[in-house]
Amino acid sequence: MTTTTALSKQYDPSEVEPRWFRFWNENGFFHADETSPTVPYSITLPPPNVTGSLHMGHALGSTLQDILIRWKRMQGFNAMWMPGTDHASIAVHVLIEKDLKRRENKTRFDLGRDEFMKRAWAWKERSGNRIIEQEKLMGFSLDWARERFTMDEKSNRAVQEAFVRLHEEGLIFRAKRMINWDYASQTVVSDLEVDTVEENGSLWELKYPLADGSGEIIVATTRPETMLGDTAVAVHPSDERYKHLHGKEVLLPLTDRRIPIVAVELIRDGKPWPDPAFGSGAVKVTPAHDPNDYDASQAVGLPILQVIDKDGKLMAPAPAKYVGMSVDDARKAVVEDLEAGGFLGVVKPYKVPRGRSQRSGVVIEPMLMEQWFVKAAPLAEKAIAAVEAGKTKFVPELHVKTFMHWMTNIQDWCISRQLWWGHRIPAWYCQGCQDIVVARAAPTGPCGKCGGALVQDEDILDTWFSSALWPFSTLGWPDKPRELNTFYPNNVLVTGPDIIFFWVARMMMFGLHFMGKVPFRTVYLTAIVTDEDGKKMSKTKGNVIDPLDVVYGATLETLLQRVDVEKPPGDHDSIKKAIRKSFGKGIPPMGSDALRFALAILNNGSHIRLSVERVETYRNFINKLWNASRFALMNLDGYDPERFESQVASSGVAGRASLGMPERWILSRLQAACAEVDAALEAFQFSKAANAIYHFIYDELCDWYIELAKPHLYQGPELEQDPAKANRRHVVQGVLASALETTLRLLHPFAPYVTEEIWQKLPKPPQLPGSLMITVFPRADASWVDAGAEAEMQLVQNIAVSCRMLRATYNVPPTQRIEVEIRVASDAVRAQVEKYLEMIERAAKIHAKVGDRGGAPLPGAAKAVVSAEVEVVMPLGGLIDVGAEKARIKKDIAKAEKEIATIEKKLENPDFIAKAKEGVVDEQRTRLTDEQTRRQRLVDALETLGAAQ
RNA sequence: GGGCGAAUAGCUCAGCGGAAGAGCGUCGCCUUUACACGGCGGUGGUCGCAGGUUCGAACCCUGCUUCGCCUACCA
């Protein structure tokens, strides 16, 4: 016997959630044992940035990962989900440097490297774990005991080892190449960290006089200031206009230099460069500050003159007048001076693509600098082959194209950064002979070649270098511990499609190179979360929905105040206006489960347009489940799970015979739901799985089963006199309790908290484990499919719905148990209807009797045609509005006739009869007969009404 | 410029070759002993446009239009 505990009328997540996270964690349910003999299933969480807090993208990705890992854990896999955080070097720099500037008006260079690192670590210790705490609040079942950081000791070792090995293999090299320079952060940034936007600029025509005085040549530029660093003018070799000028020189205006006119031919994006069709066909060449120009200089051997320095200011050999000017100032001055000298041609407005640093926002300067690079092509080759061979699959598959496109056009990866927060490059330079030593440990003595002093490279590695190692560095690589063997490769990686290049591609390359195996078998790419208008969420727009605000709720005032406290860039008034528009009534507390379920069910297609209202729908759903459970718990007094188990659940066909039709029906539907959820999850169709559960709970369990169970449960003292009824009650209790228990298991990966809370209170057989999260995930069992029960239930539902429709149409109050006649066309149907008459009466809140379809018309009655064999007649006396009733029936007739016409047309077509697939023709014939009967019934009803008038 | 995707009910989206669906909204009715974060019922669609393939097209193909998102070193 179990005592039931009353639940509150409304589910209160704030009371429930904290208890269960602690419980799961303290019992070690999150931890996977690498020595376990069970089949492993592993996922590595893309480590969030330590500077960040949990945003909707994280909430979505982590929710989906948690669904997978909880599902697999319940299926008996040795499920391991690896947590950790990423050091995010440049993001941390920006943050700390900003703070330094504000508080002490200092730069990192004023502070010095050691002191800066001390502060960075202190900051990381203070706020770096915020996101971890937030992940815990969402109930994510990460293996917290394994938590890692990309700059912890083990990761440092992995990074060093990887660097040294790649260097030994010739896959890391140092070279002078064109890179992207962010002068505000004083570092190289990767191509991927540069946002190219079209800005309004100008196209200036410059006239360069020929040195022999025989005329001039016109070039065009969007950056006139760079002309100070020109070392040639390039023309296409086949351009007839310039053939006579090849090898001649021009006098470079504003300087005292003479530069040659050279014939060059490069191919850029399949087009010739210089392109004779563009402008004058002649191009000024500034090798130090333009990638095309640099390539041209290499092709024909031109000198390279750097005229812009690391601070974005002009430098010698630019004429002294311009030295020290910013690029923008220099541009103005140069244009002015060119005009004064008569060197300026036509100037027209022009859209200029401009690269800006994602981090600092400043214009990126292409610069020629000595840097460390990873030779990417050979690594990419392996990654491409692995994907082609199906060793790693992309879901949805269309993302393969993005991946392949990038991989096949891959550039060498510049990995050195002129920052401090990160992994210092393990390379030492000899001050004497310039020899470079790359080593796992700092060299102890002087240079082995010349005895000179060795000094370590000042630079650090790109953050993504350590991220690329993450799937195996977290498992102990370069050592070969047990966990590496158990959990590598991961089964799946879940991330946003925006991270394919940054992370997925690089993990694939390093995973294959160092481990010889792909890092994960499947890459699942999530939707992108936007606001309800489809716009990217951003603090500067004020349309951000913070996951924790959704979970715990936030008043409008809190949201507005936060703008002042956090000071996002931009116009605060318009940010606040946007917040008022989206969150006018604040955000009510929804709980983690509601948010998680919403994200899972909305994760179809490429975007999730999220709004408070949409999460509210699923909060209501969670509350619905809560109340269904509340109902069950209130009616399970005297229920003995073990007795039910032995009588029904485990006694096979015999036990099932003791079940009523609704019991067999709900168990049949439940098994269908289990099959659908399982199949959907196997295919990463989270939305489909969530939908199946949602509809099972609402449309089947709550709307029908619970309603039909009520009369059997609501029995009082008379049970003692009637053992049959008592037994029946017990069976219904058992089906309700066990169906609910199975439903909770199905839903648990999506909504862990509410399901655990209910499950703990539900009476259940004692052999079950102590937590829902370690029970067995429901497996579809086809033996519970009961087509007969489903068909009978369908009949009951159809009749009840027709009765409700008539009742609603005529506003018959529910308190009025109106008499309805159910007219049937055959004895077989009559028997079924009679058998389930009480159910129909209860579901439709009517009194019913069964009549003959051929019965005499009832005056003043409304009629609904349920099917070809059943119709319901509701006598309404004076209540009936004959006109409205006629209109309603006429509409139905029109519908039926339209159907009939469509089907007849099909059947009259000889080609259809001859060529249609097997069964289709018969199907259409049956449909036609049904529709024709239906129409006839409706026409009869219409005539009856006419007669009654 | 190159690539990818999307257009289905007022809104957000499923469906992807043989009967137009869901959620939300909207409109009625209902404090019915699980739930008003609720129940019951209704309304609502030439499936972007134009061709083609097919016995049959929302679904496959072609073109167009309109929106998204990546990506890019045309001076």
Lay out the sheet containing A861-865: strands in order across: A847-852, A819-824, A870-875, A861-865
Nearest-CA residue relative to C1' of B22 = A691
Q: What are phi and psi of A676, to 5 degrees?
A: -70, -45
* Helix intervals (H) in A411-569: 463-473, 482-487, 505-510, 547-552, 556-566
Identify the pLDDT of residue A135: 95
List chain A domain ranges.
187-365, 425-458, 607-785, 885-949
Cα separation values, A614 from A352, A426, A537, Å: 41, 51, 16
Residue A315 CB-density burial (10 A; 0-12 exposed, 13-18 middle, 19+ buried) = middle
A368-421: pLDDT as tens digits = 999 999 999 999 999 999 999 999 999 988 888 889 888 888 889 999 999 999
A859 touches strand B (CB under 7 A): no
Encode pLDDT of A143-153 as tens digits.
999 999 999 99
Coarse DSSP helix, strand, coil percentages of chain A, rounded to the nearest 5 percent: 50, 20, 35
A714 touches strand B (CB under 7 A): yes
A204 Cβ contact list (under 8 Å, min separation 6): A220, A221, A222, A224, A335, A344, A345, A347
Query: Which nucleotide is closest, CA of A691 to its C1'?
Result: B22
The tokens describing A247, both together, are 């090898």
Question: Element (H or E) spanning A690, and its range?
Answer: helix A686-695
3-state secondary structure of A671: helix
Strand B contact at CB of residue A155, distance < 7 A: no
Pairing of strands A40-44, A861-865: unpaired
Q: Whose structure tokens read 């992940």? A: A135
Consecutive 10-residue runs of chain A (949 residues): their mean pLDDT?
65 95 96 97 95 90 97 98 95 91 94 96 90 94 97 97 97 93 92 84 93 92 94 92 93 94 84 85 93 90 93 92 94 95 91 85 90 94 93 90 87 94 96 91 87 94 96 97 97 92 92 97 93 83 90 94 85 88 89 96 89 93 96 94 85 76 95 94 94 95 96 80 88 95 97 97 93 96 91 94 90 85 94 95 93 83 87 82 81 87 90 90 91 88 70
A291 Cβ contacts chain B strand, under 7 Å: yes
Hey, what CATH class is A607-785 in? mainly alpha
CB of A924 lies under 7 Å from some atom of strand B: yes
Element (H, E) at A203: strand A194-209
Distance CA A248, CA A796 (A): 96
Instruction: For A449-486, give one letter per residue: b (16+ CB within 10 A) or e.
Output: eeebebeebebbbbbbbbbbbbbbbbbbbbeeeebbeb
Contacts of A161 (CB under 8 A, 6+ apart): A440, A477, A478
The residue to which tokens 């909430």 are assigned = A59
| Chain B bases closer than 7 A to any CB of the protein | 1, 3-6, 12-14, 18-19, 22-24, 28-30, 32-43, 54-56, 68-75
As a whole number of angstroms, the distance between CA A505 and CA A403 comes to 7
Pairing mode, if any, of strands A365-374 and A413-414?
Answer: antiparallel
E-strand stretches of A409-505: 413-414, 416-417, 427-430, 436-438, 454-456, 460-461, 490-495
The whole-angstrom separation of Cα A936 and Cα A949 is: 20
pLDDT at A114: 96
> In whole angstroms, what is the distance from residue A574 CA to residue A801 CA?
51
Q: What is the pLDDT of residue A651?
A: 66
In the chain, the amino acid numbered A30 is: F
Q: What is the reported pLDDT for A4?
A: 45
Quick one: which H or E segment has residue A58?
helix A56-74
A282 SS3 class: strand
Q: How far apart are CA A443 and CA A174, in angstroms?
A: 19
Q: Does the structural domain A187-365 have CATH classification 3.40.470.10?
A: no
State the maximum Cα–Cα separation within chain A, in Å, rounded to a whole number.
Answer: 124
Closest nucleotide to A912 by C1' from CA: B55
CA A278, C1' B49: Å apart? 37
In the structure, how far is the CA atom of residue A824 from the C1' atom of nucleotide B31, in angstroms? 37
Which CATH number is A885-949 given? 1.10.287
Write the pLDDT tens digit of every residue in A30-74.
999 999 999 999 999 999 999 888 999 999 999 999 999 999 999
Closest nt to residue A609, judged CA to C1':
B12
Alpha-carbon radius of gyration of chain A:
37
Tokens in use for A930?
């049904």
A498 CB contact with strand B at below 7 Å: yes
DSSP A207: E
Q: Distance (Å) from CA A399 to C1' B14?
A: 21
- What's the Cα-to-Cα distance from A469 to each of A61, A253, A442, A941, rounded to whole Å? 20, 52, 22, 75
| A823 contacts A852 by C-beta, under 8 angstroms | yes
**What is the pLDDT, as a whole number, of residue A791?**
93
Neighbouring-strand partners of residue A528: A607
The pair of three-digit structure tokens given for residue A505, joined into one six-digit string? 């591609």
> In the structure encoding, which two tokens stand for residue A81, read together?
């989900």
CB of A623 under 7 A from strand B? yes
Q: What is the distance of C-alpha A290 from the center of its chain?
A: 38
| CA–CA separation, A702 and A698 (whole Å) | 5
A397 contact to strand B (CB, 7 A limit): no
Distance CA A637, CA A649 (A): 19
Task: Give the residue whose CA sits closest to B18 at C1'.
Answer: A920
Nearest Cα neighbor of A661 from A786, A788, A789 is A789
Identify the sign of the CA torsion A98, A102, A107, A108: negative
Beta strands in A669-818 (DSSP E): none
Residues 6 or more apart in contact with residue A305 via CB below 8 angstroms: A229, A230, A231, A286, A287, A288, A317
Within A747-892, strands assigned E span 819-824, 847-852, 861-865, 870-875
- CA dihedral of residues A30, A36, A42, A44 (deg, nearest 10): 60
Which nucleotide lies at the shortest CA–C1' distance from A687? B14
- How many residues in chain A? 949
